Structure 1
């Protein structure tokens, strides 16, 4: 039972990243524009790295292939999105509340990713590291 729950949990945690990454893959220019609007350098390169992180790390976790390392990397990526894109502490008006909710959602996702890193992918995985 525990291994089945771990497998389902892995899929549920990364569903958002896979969906988002695929959407970004269909329009990398939009992603580069959002990155550029935040004042970050090399927006096009960062756009493709974002797509690779969401799709690549998401797939590794879903498959249970080096899931621990992928979960830590995806947790770090998610933390960076809070700092650069959901930085509600430097916003005003309605943006504060909307981005605070997004930031807290990301904190919860980071928690789930760190649990995967701590316990591993379970037995229903390509490897069990």
Structure 2
């Protein structure tokens, strides 16, 4: 399809835009991130925060550049799927919050789908992987 490499690049940029700024904000507000992770009952919240930063910034940058794209996309997909269940449990949200939590969960699942498509079809020719 004409333009498919440009579309793949745009898709990578837009998906990376979700992860890289989120990872940077976790660095800037590390204590708050640790507290938030701990508030959902996950063990070792400081370790979890560091892992989240590494995944979001590291795999997000790899996705952006098209470097080891398939691996980065799978890592981000697994991370996003797990985060969806821990941080957006719409099934147990209070009624007043149910709509927004459902929206966040559903958005994340759609992003997982996009990441899996990148993993399946690759980054396109406008990437480090194809150089």
- Please indicate, yes or no, whether the TM-score normalized by the shorter chain is above 0.5: yes
Q: Distance in 2 between matches of 1:32 and 1:77?
A: 17
Query: Which residue number in structure 1 is paired with residue 83 of structure 2?
Result: 81
SS at match of 2:118: helix
TM-score using structure 1 length: 0.96
Q: Which runs of 5+ in 1 are unaligned?
A: none
Q: Residue 93 of structure 1: which of 80, 92, 95 is its match? A: 95
RMSD over aligned CA atoms reads 0.9
Deviant stretches of 4+, over 6 Å: none
Query: Which residue number in structure 2 is paired with residue 123 of structure 1?
Result: 125
Query: Which residue number in structure 1 is paired with residue 54 of structure 2?
Result: 52
Q: Distance in 1 between matches of 2:100 and 2:129?
A: 39
SS at match of 1:126: coil
Query: Cα deviation per residue 1:72-118 (whole Å; 9 max; x = unaligned)?
Result: 11001000111100011112222211110000110111111111101
Q: Which runs of 5+ in 2 are unaligned?
A: none
Q: Distance in 1 between matches of 2:57 and 2:81?
A: 17
State how many pairs are aligned.
128
TM-score using structure 2 length: 0.94
Deviation at 1:27, TM superposition (A): 1.1
